[in-house]
Structure 1
Amino acid sequence: MSARRMLRWLLAVQALAAAGIALACRYWLGFAPWAALACGLGAVLLVRLAINMNNFVLSSYFASPTPREYRLGPGARLRLLGEEFVSSMLHSSWFMPRASGCRRIHPGSQAIPVLLVHGYGCNSGYWSYLMPRLDAKRISHAGIDLEPVGGAIDDYVPLLECAVNDLCAATGAPRVAIVAHSMGGLVARAWMRVHGSARVARIVTLGTPHHGTALANFGPGANAAQMRRSRGEASDWLRALADSEDAARRALVTSIFSHHDNIVSPQTSSVLPGARNIALGGVGHVALGCNGRVLDTVMAELDALPAVQPALLLVDDDAFMLELLRDSVAGQGWRVLTASSGTEALALLAHEPVAAIVSDHLMPGMSGAELLAEARRLAPASFRILLSGAPDDAAIAAALANGDADRFLPKPWRAEALLALLREAFTTRSTRGV
Structure 2
Amino acid sequence: MSEAAPPQPEAHAVQRPRGWAPGAWLRATMLAYISCAALLAAWRWDGSSALLAWALILAAWFPIHLCINAGGLLLARSSERLAFAAWWRCVLGEWRSSVRIFLLDQPWLTWRSQPQPLAPQAGTAPVLLLHGYFCNEALWFHLQKRLAAQGIVSRAVSLSPAMASIDDLVPQVAEAVDTLRAETGAAQVAILAHSMGGLVARAYLRIHGPAAVAQLITIGSPHQGTKHARLGLGRNARQMELNNPWLTALAAHEATHPLPPTTVILSRHDNVVAPQDDQTLPGAETLRFSRLGHLALLDDARVQATVLLLLSPAETLQK
TM-score range, shorter chain: 0.7 to 0.9
- The aligned counterpart of 1:254 is 263
Structure 1 residue 53, shift from structure 2 partner: 2.4
Alignment partner of 1:238 is 2:247: yes
Tell me, in whole angstroms, the C-alpha distance in 1 between the residues paired with 2:63 and 2:184. Answer: 46
Q: Which residue of the other structure, out of 194, 198, 212, is the alignment partner of 2:207?
A: 194
Residue pair 1:105, 1:170 contacting (<8 A) in 2 also: no
Q: Could you say which residue in structure 2 is the equivalent of 1:7?
A: 26
Q: Structure 1 or 2: larger strand share?
A: 1
The one-letter code matched in structure 2 to 1:299 is L
Distance apart, 1:247 and its partner CA:
7.5
Shift of 1:226: 0.6
Secondary structure of 1:143 counterpart: strand
Given that 1:213 and 1:269 are in contact with CA atoms closer than 8 Å, whether structure 2 keeps it comes out as no
1:147 and 1:73 map into 2 onto residues whose CA distance is 40
Relative to structure 1, the CA distance from residue 159 to residue 73 in structure 2 (aligned partners, 3 Å threshold; closer, same or farther) is same
Describe the SS at the equivalent of 2:129.
strand
Larger Rg: 1
Which structure's relative contact order is higher, taking Cα pairs within 8 Å and 6+ residues apart? 2
Residue type of the partner of 2:74? V
Match of 1:244, SS?
Answer: helix
Partner of 2:121: 109
Does residue 78 in structure 1 map to residue 95 in structure 2? no
Q: For the Cα contact (< 8 Å) 1:204–1:255, is it kept in 2?
A: yes
After TM superposition, give the deviation of residue 20 of structure 1 in Å: 4.3
2:177 aligned with 1:164: yes
Q: TM-score, normalised by structure 2?
A: 0.85
Equivalent position SS for 1:129: helix
SS of structure 2 residue aligned to 1:159: helix
Given that 1:112 and 1:305 are in contact with CA atoms closer than 8 Å, whether structure 2 keeps it comes out as no
Larger deviation, residues 181-190 vs 33-42: 33-42
Deviation at 1:33, TM superposition (A): 4.8
Contact (CA 8 Å) 2:125, 2:214: kept in 1 or not?
yes
Pairwise CA RMSD of aligned residues? 2.2
Secondary structure of the residue aligned to 1:128 is helix
2:17 aligns with: none
What letter matches 2:24 in structure 1? R
1:146: which partner in 2? Answer: 159
CA contact (8 A) 2:131 2:158 kept: yes
- Determine whether 1:173 maps to 2:186: yes
Matched, 1:92 2:111: no
- Partners of 1:294 and 1:23 in 2: CA distance: 46
Q: CA deviation at 1:302?
A: 0.9
How do 1:295-334 residues align onto structure 2 when only pairs under 5 Å count?
295-304=304-313
Number of residues of Structure 1 aligned to a counterpart in Structure 2:
294
Match of 1:130 among 125, 138, 143: 143
Structure 2 runs not aligned, ≥5 long: 1-19
Following superposition, the deviation at residue 46 of structure 1 comes to 2.1
The CA deviation string for residues 121-151 of structure 1, in whole angstroms up to 9 with x for no partner, is 0001111221110110111110001101011
3-state secondary structure, aligned to 2:60: helix
TM-score by length of 1: 0.64
The SS at the match of 1:245 is helix
Residue from 296, 300, 311 that aligns with 1:291? 300
Q: CA deviation at 1:165?
A: 0.7
Question: Cα deviations across residues 271-316 of structure 1 (Å, max 9, x unaligned)?
Answer: 2221010000011011122121211111111125568xxxxxxxxx
For structure 1, the 5+ residue unaligned runs are 308-434
Residue of structure 1 equivalent to 2:49: 32
1:44-81: CA deviation from partner (whole Å, max 9, x where unpaired): 22222222223223323xx5x22xxxx42222222111
Pairing partner for 2:198 from 185, 198, 215: 185
CA separation in 2, counterparts of 1:182 and 1:92?
Answer: 15
Q: Distance in 2 between matches of 1:38 and 1:152?
A: 39
Which whole-Å CA distance do the structure 1 matches of 2:51 and 2:161 have between them? 40
Following the alignment from structure 2 to structure 1, what is the Cα–Cα distance between the partners of residues 116 and 302? 26
Distance in 1 between residues matched to 2:182 and 2:133, nearest whole Å: 28
- Tell me how far apart the structure 2 counterparts of residues 153 and 37 of structure 1 sit (CA, whole Å): 40
